Chains A and B, each alone.
Chain A
């Protein structure tokens, strides 16, 4: 492996890294927002809306991100909505992640015993207060492991962005291989940057999980 080549590749990877990170995290924020709304509608069994949320979750959990991206990237302009590759990436991660986040949160909400709401309401809290002050915070703590797993999964899923010509890490690696044939160096840098992107998330996730578990179960 040629170190000079690695060094010369560095700026392009760094740029791609920042782009991947930006789109990935914006997509994850969007996914959290979508997931919360979707989980709430299902938890409260809102008529019609909960069905829509259920259908959404099934569709987006059971199709690959690549297919979803193609749909958004090539489909939206046909419907008259021009959309940049970057926005498409954010929306893609947001929609895919939203379905996963929704399920994580919904199962956590259902895991909080009904008696917790009863005891809150017996203290004079309204339905809304019981949910907002007791059920939802408890569910959030319970959902930490699933949410952390989703975040890591979604950051890795960004690797299909190259298909809609976003210059993410994967695109950069393929591009450099195509240009210079330094396959080993290009792939090595790819791995290194993914590790740089994900190890901190994974480590922070473990800390968060431990804290959450400690709070609820004292382990």
Chain B
């Protein structure tokens, strides 16, 4: 995944300013930054939910063109998990999971269900397979949403503040699933406010402010020895003394 000098404006407001980021296969990049700094917009630009004004996003060396008829083919390879889960309320958990594999990837339904049940078991939600999304807690819904993205076997997973809407005890159950995926070698770009989690999961930390990357580096250096004033200030805002 290669993000090359992308810019995004809403009217006069510059949200992303000539931002570049390379993500290697198997790497977990965690993005942090103050509200409105462009982190979520960055993720949305990657799979063309937002159209960039300038620059290029490329996957496997191929540029993602939002106007391409085959955009949906590229999106198959980019999994995305949203803050508000976005499960399909009219379908059961199992139906939620097999819908895209069967309809988009033309996977055999039996096979898709087998895979779905296997993954549900892994996140401890096998017993919920016939429930509807509204019958699940937020943490459970988010775990299902992660599984739904995994069902497409994407090359890269984008996670957009996936714990921001959850109670603290549910945050943990979701983040454990993500940590598991990180250990498994999944390529991920994670936007989060959970710094402890970021420390545990990240191969590389990225701090964004004002639509630009201000600082990036190994998690240890990043948290213990921030070089820029802005990052120091940002990290400091999470501590109370």
Residue contact A124 to B86, C-beta cutoff 8 Å: no
Taking the nearest CB of chain A, how far is it from the CB of B79, in angstroms? 8
B103 near A121 (CB under 8 angstroms)? no
The A-contacting residues of B in range 98-147, CB under 8 angstroms, are 99-100, 103-105, 132, 134-135
Residues of chain B with a CB closer than 8 A to A120's CB: 88, 100
Question: Whole-angstrom distance from the CB of B123 to the nearest CB of chain A?
Answer: 18
A55 → chain B, closest Cβ, in Å?
32
Q: Which of B47, B49, B75, B86 contacts A116 (CB 8 A)?
A: B86
Q: Does A197 contact B (CB under 8 A)?
A: no
Q: Does A7 contact B (CB under 8 A)?
A: no
> Per-residue 0/1 for B42-75: is the Cβ within 8 Å of any A Cβ (1 yes, 0 no)?
0000010100000000000000000000001101
Q: How far is the CA of A217 from the CA of B100 in the complex (A)?
A: 23
Contact string, A111-127, partner B, CB cutoff 8 A, digits 1/0?
Answer: 00001101111111110
B75-109 CB contact bits vs A (8 Å, 1 = yes)? 11011101010101110000000011001110000
Q: Does B204 contact A (CB under 8 A)?
A: no
Q: How far is the CA of A217 from the CA of B104 in the complex (A)?
A: 28
Instruction: Indicate if A138 sits at the interface (CB-CB under 8 A).
Output: yes
Q: Which residues of B contact A1 (CB under 8 A)?
A: none
Task: For A216, give its contact among B86, B89, B148 (CB under 8 Å).
Answer: B89
Task: Say yes or no: B135 contacts A138, CB within 8 Å.
Answer: no
Docked-complex contact A122 and B78, CB < 8 angstroms: yes
- In angstroms, Cα B89 to Cα A120, docked, is 12
Report B-chain residues with C-beta under 8 Å of the C-beta of A138.
88-90
In the A-B complex, list the 3 residue pairs whose CB atoms are closest, starting with the nearest: A124-B76, A119-B86, A123-B100
- A197 vs B90: C-alpha distance when bound (angstroms): 31
Interface flag for A19 (CB, 8 Å): no
Q: Quick check: A122 and B75 within 8 Å, CB to CB?
A: yes
Q: Which of B49, B72, B134 contacts A124 (CB 8 A)?
A: B72
Cβ < 8 Å to A, chain B residues 7-62: 47, 49
Contact B103 A129 (CB under 8 A): yes
Tell yes or no: B152 within 8 A of A by CB.
yes
Expressed in whole angstroms, the minimum distance between the Cβ of A138 and any Cβ of chain B is 5
Alpha-carbon separation in the docked complex, A121 to B86 (Å): 12
When chains A and B are docked, how far (Å) is the Cα of A51 from the Cα of B149?
39
Given that A122-B47, A124-B72 are known contacts, is A129 also in contact with B88, CB under 8 Å in the complex?
A: no
- Interface residue from A119, A125, A216, A218 paired with B103 (Cβ < 8 Å): A125
A137 at the interface (CB under 8 A from B): yes
Chain B neighbourhood of A118, CB < 8 A:
49, 82, 86
Contact (Cβ within 8 A) A123 B90:
no
26 A-B residue contacts at CB 8 Å? A116-B86, A118-B49, A119-B82, A119-B86, A120-B88, A120-B100, A121-B49, A122-B75, A122-B149, A123-B76, A123-B100, A124-B72, A124-B73, A124-B75, A124-B76, A124-B105, A125-B103, A125-B104, A126-B72, A129-B72, A133-B99, A133-B103, A137-B90, A138-B89, A138-B90, A218-B132
Tell me the nearest residue of chain A to B84, going by C-beta. A115
Contact indicator B90/A124 (Cβ below 8 Å): no
Given contact pairs A122-B78, A124-B104, A124-B152, A218 touches B88 in the complex (Cβ within 8 A): no
A121 CB to nearest chain B CB (Å): 6
Contact B88 A116 (CB under 8 A): yes
Min distance, Cβ B172 to any Cβ of chain A, angstroms: 24
Q: A118-B49, A122-B47 are in contact. Are A216 and B90 (CB under 8 A)?
A: yes
Interfacial chain A residues near B105, Cβ < 8 Å: 124
Query: A121: which of B72, B84, B89, B134 is its contact (CB, 8 Å)?
Result: B72
Docked complex Cα distance between A207 and B89 (Å): 19
Say yes or no for A146: interface residue by CB 8 A criterion. Answer: no
- How far in angstroms is the closest Cβ of chain A from B137? 13
Complex CA gap A121/B72 in Å reads 7
Nearest A residue to B75 via CB reads A124
A218 touches B72 (CB 8 A): no
A201 lies within 8 A of chain B by Cβ: no
Q: Which residues of A lie under 8 Å from residue B82 when comparing CB positions? A: 115, 118-119, 122
8 Å CB contacts to B: which residues of A138-154?
Answer: 138, 141
Q: In this assembly, does A78 line the interface, its C-beta being within 8 Å of a C-beta of chain B?
A: no
Beyond known contacts A122-B80, A124-B75: 5 more, CB 8 A cutoff = A120-B88, A123-B75, A125-B72, A138-B90, A215-B89
